[in-house]
Structure 1
Amino acid sequence: MEKRERFASRLGFILISAGCAIGLGDVWRFPYITGQYGGGIFVLVYLIFIFLLGLPIITMELAVGRASQKSIATSFNVLEKKGQKWHWMGYAGVAGNYILMMFYTTIAGWMLAYFYKFMTGQFEGLDTQQIGQVFTDFIANPVEMTIWMVITTVICFGICSLGLQEGVEKVTKVMMVLLLAIIVVLAVKSMTLPNASEGLRFYLMPDVNRIKEYGIWEVVFAAMSQAFFTLSIGIGSLAIFGSYIEKERSLLGESINIAMLDTAISLIAGLIIFPACFAFNVDPGQGPGLVFVTLPNIFNSMAGGRIWGSLFFIFMTFAAYSTVIAVFENIISFGVDLWGWSRKKASLINTILIIVLSMPCVLGFNVLSWIQPLGEGTGILDLEDFILSYNLLPLGSLVYVLFCVTRYGWGFDNYLKEVNTGEGLKMPRMLKGYLTWILPAIIIVVLIQGYINVFGK
């Protein structure tokens, strides 16, 4: 039995855990949803749910990881009582991490590809329609997409194979510090554009009319599900980092640091996107269009656009890669925990496996675009995202909650003791009722409403 690796520093742990949570949802989805659901009010509701919903579940993942010293593959086996079946969750967690990487590597590859395209000046002199065409041509080309996906997979597994401190921690620290620096520079640049104040008003001022238009429940649900998905909780992708930390700090304080860093990135991303969209009179729409069509158009019309565009996409690449590296670290630990593989062996086998598993997503945009699993206009990526986001994340979170608070699982006293071991903020015992009854109810609501939104329209 090898000794469990450790982070070299507390900062490393916080940055990597936040890096796991900070992903494309922060930049891709958050600003758009904020604008759609009434700006400032939505942000407020979102922040409330990050604390009500996200925080307790982060503490649970970290507590299970730290107490068991294992990844999700075997952590429940260590902590459950004899004859219990919680360890079945391990299989779902393992599956969740693989499914996430089946489409995330592709999109992370897009970010790197666009950084390369901007840096080499491929957008210079193109008009609005041609910029849109670049993206259309790119996703229609399976070879080009595969190359970027493979580069992403090889780089990130390569970093993980160097070890926790030498690879994952060193590289992620640098990436996260650069990410924070770049995003601040971009936000300042964006807020000094002409007409930027209109964008800020749209983003941050509460708009009661929009809330009336959608209804308060839809606004609350949107905030709830965004809080849920942005932290990628439920498949143990944070639990692994719990298993790498000492017992010097209580877990509530650390979880707050992770959640705050993730939320700060989301909020600052909005400060980049909205002022820029309003300065150039563009609709801040959702999803790929925003990042790969709208923003390149904006950078193109700015002085020094090639530099700003390159900076933005290297920031996006870091945001994506920080998640990929964190989840790959999990995937490697499955091999180590379950079969006693060495880190190098687990890295090599999984590099090949992930490349093969990522192909359906890549081909779903072109060769296999006739496969529309969730109705017209959907692709393989949508199906993979649906399985993960609407099923495994909420169900996994529910399992973590029930495991930590009920006597049929690990039990509330054990959980509380683990969370409160070390210096820092303590989880109050009086929250037991909330964690036992209300939190599971909220998760079930997210689960059901998610299904209604996908299939009930």
Structure 2
Amino acid sequence: MHTNQSKEQHSASAIDPKQGMTERFSQYGFILAAIGSSVGLGNMWKFPYITGQYGGAAFFLLFTICLIIIGLPVLLAELAIGRAGRGSASTSLVRLSGKKIWGGFGFISIAGAFIILSYYAVVAGWTMHYAFLSFSGQLFSSSDYGGHFGSFIGSYWPIVWQAVVMLLTGWIVARGVSSGIEKYNRILIPGLVVLLILLAVRALTLEGAGEGVSFFLQPDFSKLTAESALVALGHAFFSLSLGMGAIMTYGAYVDRKQSLGKATLAVGSGDLLYALLAGLIIFPTTFVFGLEPAQGPGLVFVALPAAFSAMPLGAWFGGLFFVLLAIAALTSAVSILEVPVAWVREKFGWGRAGAAAFTAFLCFLVGLPSAVSVGGAVPGIEFMGKTFFDWMDFLSSNIILPLGGLIVTLFAGYFWKGAAKEAGLSTWWFNLWLFMMRWVAPVLVGLVFLYYAGVIRF
């Protein structure tokens, strides 16, 4: 008699050519894993910047609307395609369409996920390094936080932490769906929620925090423009991990009994709650200590450590903050790595462990130029004024992901005839969803693609 783990290891060693992926999430485990995929580092430094720039609560309201009317329908489409196709982002499209050309379209998302993880692991490594420094007290031994950050990213230490991230990510993915991805999301996501609440309470109880809360929650509709609408739509789209094949790949492991509609609402709600709590942490802290929320990575690794140093128990809260970021980065990294791993398993017939080890190592190698270029450890890795890190970010975020999202909307709206049955929606809801996928989502996602590609300017 086999244990559950031995069964999973057996099923992970091969893929049934008729049934596709044979591993399965539990219903609760899938929702946690999908939420883990959507929460990431962007909401901690990109979200405050764009929210402040485009009207505070007015932008947050616009972001929420975009998430509901565009993000959730596309999320449902990716889940339905993944569960019906039971394969990688490439194979599922081929199985459902019967045409090999869709495999090439699906591979765009797989390539995007691989590129994203190559440099995302670098930044995730920064968060782990800072968590260690904060808890050990070393981070606050000097007040020159900008100099410390510059010397760190300008050294070879980011490579070490990048390797740590890829080892952890590869190890979790290698253990399988239920024994790896689901098991660790069951631990990490509740831990993430606890840390979010603790840090939000700490930020909200700072003297003068009300000004930051007011800025975040009081709308300024005069700042809303056509550009802000596209930025809100793009952030809603990317915050759900759409267009990179992650949700589609996770969908391949969803049980037939699970309601995709309810799962979609749960994931969307989790992403929205994370964005809200992130705002309630960042804005009060930045306003109390006179920080500028538009600094991007500089806000997290330079300005906020200065703020934590001025707080009672600052080293402890600073450590919790960077652990929070590390958890968010790791859960996202796991979902991203699973995308190319699923493809490698199908393409070469490898077992899960071998595919995970190979893909993680290759991703680490591709990410090395990003690790040494962003801080100038190896000078000269630039082209047209952008570092290698910048180009990887631009190519994946501004070109590949919007293109991947557009492919999903067109496929679900026009080319796949089994969408109604797989989505499990009533007639009225399905017609509304189909209308969004055919006429609204392609146009808006196309505009986002043109905007981020620099074709549309304001």
Q: State the alpha-carbon separation in 2 of the partners of residues 19 and 166 from structure 1.
A: 16
Distance 1:430 1:319, change over 3 A: closer
Contact 2:173 2:180 (8 Å CA) reproduced: yes
Q: State the alpha-carbon separation in 2 of the partners of residues 12 and 40 from structure 1.
A: 32
Counterpart for residue 30 of structure 2: 13
1:370 aligns with 2:380: yes
Counterpart for residue 385 of structure 1: 393
Gaps of 5+ in 1: none
The C-alpha deviation readout for 1:254-287, integer Å capped at 9, x for no partner, is: 1111111011101101101111111112222231
Q: 1:216 aligns with which of 198, 220, 225?
A: 225
- What secondary structure is seen at the aligned counterpart in 2 of 1:283? coil
Distance 1:67 1:119, change over 3 A: same
Q: 2:206 aligns with which of 193, 212, 218?
A: 193
Q: 2:416 aligns with which of 388, 402, 410?
A: 410
- What secondary structure is seen at the aligned counterpart in 1 of 2:292? coil
Identify which range, 5-14 or 88-97, moves more after superposition.
5-14
Q: State the alpha-carbon separation in 2 of the partners of residues 250 and 11 from structure 1.
A: 11
After superposition, residues 269-280 of structure 1 pair within 5 angstroms as: 269-280=278-289
RMSD of the TM alignment (CA)? 1.9
After superposition, residues 392-431 of structure 1 pair within 5 angstroms as: 392-406=400-414, 409-411=415-417, 414-420=418-424, 427-431=429-433
Q: What displacement does 1:435 show?
A: 2.0
Contact 1:394 1:447 (8 Å CA) reproduced: yes
Contact 1:38 1:207 (8 Å CA) reproduced: yes
Counterpart for residue 131 of structure 1: 145
Q: State the alpha-carbon separation in 2 of the partners of residues 96 and 18 from structure 1.
A: 20
Distance 1:270 1:395, change over 3 A: same
- What secondary structure is seen at the aligned counterpart in 1 of 2:82? helix
Contact 2:369 2:381 (8 Å CA) reproduced: no
Counterpart for residue 236 of structure 2: 227
Q: 2:126 aligns with which of 107, 110, 114?
A: 110
Q: State the alpha-carbon separation in 2 of the partners of residues 203 and 383 from structure 1.
A: 32
1:86 aligns with 2:102: yes
The C-alpha deviation readout for 1:397-438, integer Å capped at 9, x for no partner, is: 1111111111xx223xx11210117xx998432443332122
- What secondary structure is seen at the aligned counterpart in 2 of 1:249? coil
Contact 2:80 2:419 (8 Å CA) reproduced: yes
Q: State the alpha-carbon separation in 2 of the partners of residues 349 and 45 from structure 1.
A: 41
Q: 2:64 aligns with which of 44, 47, 54?
A: 47
Q: State the alpha-carbon separation in 2 of the partners of residues 71 and 339 from structure 1.
A: 13
Q: What displacement does 1:369 show?
A: 4.3
Q: State the alpha-carbon separation in 1 of the partners of residues 260 and 25 from structure 2.
A: 17
After superposition, residues 285-296 of structure 1 pair within 5 angstroms as: 285-296=294-305
Kindly provide the amino acid, as one letter, of the partner of residue 391 in structure 1: I
Counterpart for residue 258 of structure 1: 267
Q: 2:308 aligns with which of 299, 303, 323?
A: 299
Distance 1:90 1:434, change over 3 A: closer
1:100 aligns with 2:116: yes
- What secondary structure is seen at the aligned counterpart in 1 of 2:50? helix
Q: What displacement does 1:456 show?
A: 5.7
Identify which range, 345-354 or 41-50, moves more after superposition.
345-354
Q: What displacement does 1:368 show?
A: 4.3
Aligned length: 440
Distance 1:430 1:317, change over 3 A: closer
Contact 1:187 1:268 (8 Å CA) reproduced: yes
The C-alpha deviation readout for 1:326-356, integer Å capped at 9, x for no partner, is: 1122222112122110011112212321111
Distance 1:434 1:124, change over 3 A: closer
Identify which range, 31-40 or 3-12, moves more after superposition.
3-12
Contact 2:153 2:377 (8 Å CA) reproduced: no
Kindly provide the amino acid, as one letter, of the partner of residue 120 in structure 2: Y
Identify which range, 271-280 or 5-14, moves more after superposition.
5-14
Contact 2:125 2:165 (8 Å CA) reproduced: yes
Q: What displacement does 1:21 show?
A: 1.1
Contact 1:73 1:337 (8 Å CA) reproduced: no
- What secondary structure is seen at the aligned counterpart in 2 of 1:29? helix
Return the TM-score normalized by structure 2.
Answer: 0.92
1:205 aligns with 2:218: yes
Gaps of 5+ in 2: 1-13
Q: 2:175 aligns with which of 144, 162, 168?
A: 162
Identity of aligned residues (%): 32
Identify which range, 426-435 or 175-184, moves more after superposition.
426-435
Counterpart for residue 137 of structure 2: 121
Kindly provide the amino acid, as one letter, of the partner of residue 102 in structure 2: W
Contact 2:344 2:355 (8 Å CA) reproduced: yes
Q: State the alpha-carbon separation in 1 of the partners of residues 434 and 357 from structure 2.
A: 44
Q: What displacement does 1:203 show?
A: 1.0
The C-alpha deviation readout for 1:62-104, integer Å capped at 9, x for no partner, is: 11110011111311121113x5621211321221111111111
Q: State the alpha-carbon separation in 1 of the partners of residues 92 and 110 from structure 2.
A: 12
Q: What displacement does 1:8 show?
A: 4.8
Kindly provide the amino acid, as one letter, of the partner of residue 148 in structure 2: V
1:449 aligns with 2:455: no
The C-alpha deviation readout for 1:203-247, integer Å capped at 9, x for no partner, is: 1101245x1xxx621221221111122122112111111111112
